[in-house]
Structure 1
Amino acid sequence: MTFDRLFTRTSALAAAAAAAAAAVLAGCASPPSHFYTLSPADDAARGAPTVASANPALLIELAPIDVPPQVAKAQFVVQTDASRVDVLEQRRWASLPGDEIRRALSGDLTQQLGTIDVYGSPRPEGVPVYRVSVRVQRFESWPDSHALIDAVWSVRSLASQQVMTCRSVLDEKVGTGYDALVEGHRHAVEALSTAIASGVRALAAAPQPVMTPGSKTASRPKPMPPVACPAAAPAESGAG
């Protein structure tokens, strides 16, 4: 066998080995991950946009949102039955669920109220600020069935310290597939934002405590009665 023939044969064997190795590696490669967000792709997804005034009548301050520890991860945690969940490595949130919910809520609330979310930002004097706190008690994903968010939320006037505390349970039926499941959670967040926006409006319209200048109790206004939760959010209401 001549050197040229030996070289050609060796090269062919090496190429075949490389192709076989590539095929093995391709077969062992992990399937691609898919990332999802609760924020609509554009303003059209929210309906007619409402532009916040340059000088809004009120401001909101939406605090970071608590979610149950078992779902506070990037991977989808889906229910298979009442006592079992699956963690899906290839289905992930673009950010942690608490951050996703907060971002979507902030966008919805500022649009519905025509205001600005000033959490973590300096705010002007003389403009009433309402602090919104949300604690998600259940964030359940049932593929091909429903998406559920059970949340306790509160709105507090930083001026009067008057507070409304409510609970909203949003249960959205979903179609087949994970896109439908994400869309169900998005609808649930939108319904939650509508309830909270109604709560902010109700608290803003409630009578404010009256303090008489020079009174010994001027620094301690009489506590105001709690404001009832919006009808759209059957809830537990009270001062806190």
Structure 2
Amino acid sequence: MMRYTTALAMAAAVLLAGCAAAPPEHFYSLSNGIGVPAPAAKPAGYYIELPAVTVPQQVARYQLVVSTEAGRIDLLEHERWSAMPASELGQALSLAITGELGTVDVFRTPTADGAPVYRISTNVQRFESAPGQYALIDAVWSVRLVGGVKVLTCRSVANEAVGGGYDALVAGHRRAVTRIAADISKAIRTLASGASAGC
């Protein structure tokens, strides 16, 4: 009995030591740090609608996927997004665009009859993370007035230089999101004014 108790105690000690030695997990968000200005004195007079964003399959996971050298990527088990990257990008873009335009995102929300709504479709073709080098988002996006037939389709490539560490890498992606949101906001503002928008 004594040997059995001693063996159990040793096994428990080994398990506890293993748990204590495991590195902590860190969670990151693209929307955290996206500045949202105070509401505009005069409402925009239109809404936006930003459905789900699509991302490349290889980065559609909670772990940060980083490029370490040509053709090689690593999945970082202890460095994770707080939500799937498509959700992170969608929320961050929505916050940045609504903040820029002084409007709201009415996706899946009823609106008054006749209220102009600009639908934004976003397909992220590249989402690359190279710690100490760059954070890159390459997105094809389109804007269309709901109920209208004209569609403006453009591409934005935001490549941000970053310092060492994962905090700097995520901050670079936030800056990239802000740049893409600025391109989309400019197109919507131009369309809403009645002028012809271009990329």
TM-score, shorter chain, exceeding 0.5 = yes
| Structure 1 counterpart SS, 2:191 | helix
- Offset, 1:51: 1.1
| Structure 1 counterpart SS, 2:113 | coil
Residue type of the alignment partner of 1:196: I
Deviations 1:172-215 (A, max 9, x none): 111111111110101100111111100101111235xxxxxxxx
RMSD: 2.4
Q: Does 1:25 align with 2:25?
A: no
Amino-acid identity (%):
49
Taking structure 2 as the reference length, what is the TM-score of the superposition? 0.89
Taking structure 1 as the reference length, what is the TM-score of the superposition? 0.75
User: Which ranges of structure 2 fall in alignment gaps of 5 or more residues?
Assistant: none
Higher RCO (CA < 8 A, seq sep 6+): 2
Number of residue-to-residue matches in the alignment = 197
CA distance in 2, matches of 1:182, 1:72: 16
Residue type of the alignment partner of 1:117: D
Judge conservation of contact 1:128–1:158 (CA < 8 Å) in 2: yes
Residue type of the alignment partner of 1:101: L
Q: Does 1:66 align with 2:54?
A: yes
- Offset, 1:31: 2.5
Runs of 4+ in 1 over 4 A off after TM superposition: 14-17, 52-56
Q: Does 1:34 align with 2:26?
A: yes
CA distance in 1, matches of 2:123, 2:8: 57
CA distance in 2, matches of 1:15, 1:54: 74
Judge conservation of contact 1:39–1:186 (CA < 8 Å) in 2: yes
Judge conservation of contact 2:43–2:102 (CA < 8 Å) in 1: no
Match for residue 169 of structure 1 among 152, 157, 166: 157
1:90-105 equivalences in 2 (<5 Å): 90-105=78-93
Deviations 1:48-75 (A, max 9, x none): x231679640110001000000000111
User: Which ranges of structure 1 fall in alignment gaps of 5 or more residues?
Assistant: 1-9, 208-225, 230-240
